[in-house]
Amino acid sequence: QVQLVESGGGLVQAGESLRLSCVVSGSIFTFNAMGWYRQAPGKQRELVATITSGGSTNYADSVKGRFTIVRDNSKKAAYLQMNSLKPEDTAVYYCKADLRAVSFWGQGTQVAVSS
């Protein structure tokens, strides 16, 4: 059974940094794309950043230059380094991993940024 476990969320002040981790268990395969999405209260879930198995990345315009996504295929993990956090970054952050046509999601980790 494939499971994604996120960690690293928390409460920080504006301008500070956090690093989110996502570790996949229960699969011997390397996932195609992995990514981070977020959902703020009352809003739809939105893409934050994605990374392919080859390392190509894609970012939402709102986080470009502040967030960096990396992955470690040997550990089946993906990380999101978030710098210069803003109150509008407050949301539950979800990790997603795609294996062929199937997508797997983590349970989410809360990020709260105070002004």
Q: pLDDT per residue over 10-61, tens digit each?
A: 999 999 999 999 999 887 677 889 999 999 999 999 999 999 989 999 999 9
Indicate the Cα dihedral angle 5, 72, 80, 68, nearest 10°.
Answer: -170
pLDDT band, residue 5 (cuts 50/70/90): very high
- In angstroms, the CA 45 to CA 38 distance is 5
pLDDT band, residue 100 (cuts 50/70/90): confident
DSSP state of 30: P
Q: What's the pLDDT score for residue 34?
A: 94
Q: What's the pLDDT score for residue 62?
A: 98
Of 20, 19, 28, 26, the C-alpha closest to 74 is 28
